[in-house]
C-alpha cells in the first residue's frame, strides 16, 4: 500500500491483495446494507468482496449511486448482485422476526427464490463482460444456484395457489407439509381431518435450512467471481471500460479510492437505498464526467 501524502487516496500495486480494503459495507454501503451487514456478513461475506471489486469503482463522486456511462453488462451485474442481497436481507428479517407467525412462509420463500434468480442473471452479465474484456469464456459454474432455485421454488410457487394450510403442534410450533407432500395437502380439510404428522416439518426450521442453502450457493458464485477477478482487474480492456487507472506505464492493478466520506456522511444520498431515487439525488452533470475515484488535487506530480 502506498499513500501519496493524502488521507483520501490509496493505490494498490501488485500481488493478489483484495482491492479497496479501506471501504466497507458497514460504513459505506447504503441504508439497507449498513443495517443488515452485521447480521449477514457471516453468511454472505463474499458479497462485500465482490462489491469492493466491481461496484465501488462505479460510483459517482461522493455518492452511493452509479455514475453515468458505465458498461451495461457490469451495471447489470451490480444491479442483480444488490437485488440478491436485498432479498436475502428481507428473508432474514422475516425469519428472525417470525413474521406473521410464519402463516405466509411462501412469501419468504419468494425472497429466497428471487435472490437465486437474479444471481443467475448476474452470472450471465458478468460472463458477457468477461468475454468482452478477455475474449475468453468465464465458465461460471451455476449448478449450486440452479439446485437452490429448484429446491426453494417448490414453496415459492404456492404464491400462485390458495394459502397452504399449516398446523401447530402441542408446543405451538407451526408445521408445514414437506416439499414432496404439498400436493397431498392442497385441500384444507385434508390437513384438518386426514393429516399424517410425519408429512410435516417445522416452518421455521425449513426456512432456515433454505436460507442457508441459498447463502451457500451465493457464496460459491461470488467466490468464482473473486477468482476470475484476479485476472480481469489487471486487464487493459477492463480498466478502459471501468476507468480504473489514471496513468500509463505504471503497474497499477487497483483503482484509487476516495475514502473521505465525511462531507456526505449525513446526507440523504448516503443513507438512501441503491436503486431508490429522488429528483435532488441525481449526480450533477460535472460529476458524470469523472470516474468515481477521481478527486482534484490527489494526483502525484
Count helices and strands (H / E) in the chain: 11, 3
pLDDT computed for residue 169 by the predictor: 94
pLDDT band at 293 (very low <50, low <70, confident <90, very high): very low
pLDDT computed for residue 63 by the predictor: 85
pLDDT computed for residue 22 by the predictor: 79
85, pLDDT greater than 80? yes
Higher pLDDT, 257 or 89: 89
Beta-strand runs (E) in the chain:
167-168, 174-177, 200-202
Q: What is the separation of C-alpha 13 from the centre of its chain, rounded to a whole number of angstroms?
A: 27
Average pLDDT over residues 95-108: 96
pTM of the model as a whole = 0.79
pLDDT band at 71 (very low <50, low <70, confident <90, very high): very high
pLDDT computed for residue 285 by the predictor: 43
pLDDT computed for residue 69 by the predictor: 86
pLDDT computed for residue 48 by the predictor: 97
Average pLDDT over residues 155-178: 94
Q: What percent of the chain shows pLDDT beyond 70?
A: 75
Q: What percent of the chain shows pLDDT beyond 90?
A: 64
Q: What element of type H or E holds 269?
A: helix 268-271
Average pLDDT over residues 9-20: 40
Is the C-alpha dihedral spanning 162, 163, 168, 174 positive or negative? Answer: positive
Mean pLDDT across the chain, nearest whole number? 80
Among candidate residues 295, 105, 119, the one with its CA nearest the CA of residue 203: 105
pLDDT computed for residue 281 by the predictor: 57
pLDDT computed for residue 272 by the predictor: 65
**Residues 6+ positions from 53 with CB-CB distance below 8 Å:** 18, 19, 20, 225, 226, 229, 233
Q: Which three cell numbers stand for residue 57?
A: 469503482
pLDDT computed for residue 283 by the predictor: 53
pLDDT band at 282 (very low <50, low <70, confident <90, very high): low
Please give the C-alpha separations between residue 68 and each of 61, 118, 258, 283, in angstroms, as whole numbers: 11, 22, 18, 9
pLDDT computed for residue 20 by the predictor: 58
pLDDT band at 81 (very low <50, low <70, confident <90, very high): very high
19, pLDDT greater than 70? no
Taking a C-beta distance cutoff of 8 angstroms, is the pair 294, 61 a contact?
yes
Strand-by-strand arrangement of the 174-177 sheet: 167-168, 174-177, 200-202
181, pLDDT greater than 80? yes
Q: Which three cell numbers stand for residue 190?
A: 385434508
pLDDT band at 255 (very low <50, low <70, confident <90, very high): very low
Higher pLDDT, 17 or 26: 26
Write the pLDDT tens digit of every residue in 186-239: 999 999 999 999 999 999 999 999 999 999 999 999 999 999 998 888 888 888
**Residues 6+ positions from 254 with CB-CB distance below 8 Å:** 11, 12, 13, 17, 19, 20, 233, 244
Please tell me whether residue 216 adopts helix, strand or coil conformation: helix
Amino acid at each position: 500500500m502506498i499513500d501519496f501524502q493524502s488521507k483520501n487516496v490509496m493505490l494498490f500495486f501488485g500481488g493478489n491483495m483484495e482491492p479497496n480494503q479501506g471501504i466497507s459495507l458497514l460504513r459505506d454501503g447504503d441504508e439497507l446494507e449498513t443495517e443488515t451487514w452485521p447480521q449477514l456478513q457471516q453468511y454472505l461475506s463474499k458479497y462485500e468482496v465482490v462489491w469492493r471489486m466491481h461496484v465501488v469503482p462505479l460510483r459517482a463522486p461522493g455518492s452511493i449511486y452509479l455514475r453515468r456511462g458505465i458498461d451495461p453488462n457490469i451495471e447489470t451485474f451490480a444491479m442483480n448482485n444488490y437485488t440478491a442481497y436485498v432479498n436475502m436481507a428481507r428473508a432474514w428479517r422475516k425469519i428472525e422476526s417470525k413474521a406473521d407467525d410464519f402463516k405466509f412462509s411462501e412469501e419468504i420463500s419468494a425472497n429466497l427464490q428471487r435472490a437465486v434468480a437474479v444471481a443467475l442473471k448476474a452470472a450471465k452479465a458478468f460472463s458477457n463482460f468477461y468475454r468482452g474484456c478477455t475474449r475468453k469464456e468465464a465458465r461460471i459454474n451455476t449448478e449450486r444456484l440452479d439446485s437452490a432455485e429448484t429446491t426453494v421454488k417448490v414453496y415459492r410457487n404456492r404464491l400462485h395457489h390458495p394459502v397452504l394450510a399449516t398446523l401447530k403442534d402441542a408446543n405451538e410450533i407451526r408445521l408445514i407439509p414437506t416439499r414432496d407432500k404439498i400436493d397431498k395437502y392442497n385441500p384444507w380439510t385434508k390437513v384438518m381431518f386426514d393429516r399424517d404428522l410425519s408429512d410435516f416439518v417445522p416452518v421455521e426450521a425449513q426456512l432456515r435450512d433454505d436460507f442457508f442453502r441459498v447463502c451457500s450457493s451465493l457464496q460459491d458464485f461470488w467466490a468464482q467471481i473473486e477468482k476470475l477477478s484476479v485476472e480481469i482487474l489487471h486487464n487493459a480492456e477492463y480498466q478502459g471500460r471501468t476507468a480504473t487507472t489514471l496513468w500509463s506505464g505504471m503497474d497499477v492493478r487497483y483503482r484509487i479510492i476516495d475514502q473521505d466520506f465525511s462531507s456526505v456522511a449525513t446526507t440523504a444520498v448516503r443513507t438512501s437505498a441503491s436503486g431508490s431515487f429522488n429528483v435532488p439525488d441525481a449526480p450533477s452533470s460535472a460529476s458524470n464526467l469523472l470516474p468515481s475515484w477521481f478527486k482534484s488535487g490527489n494526483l502525484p506530480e
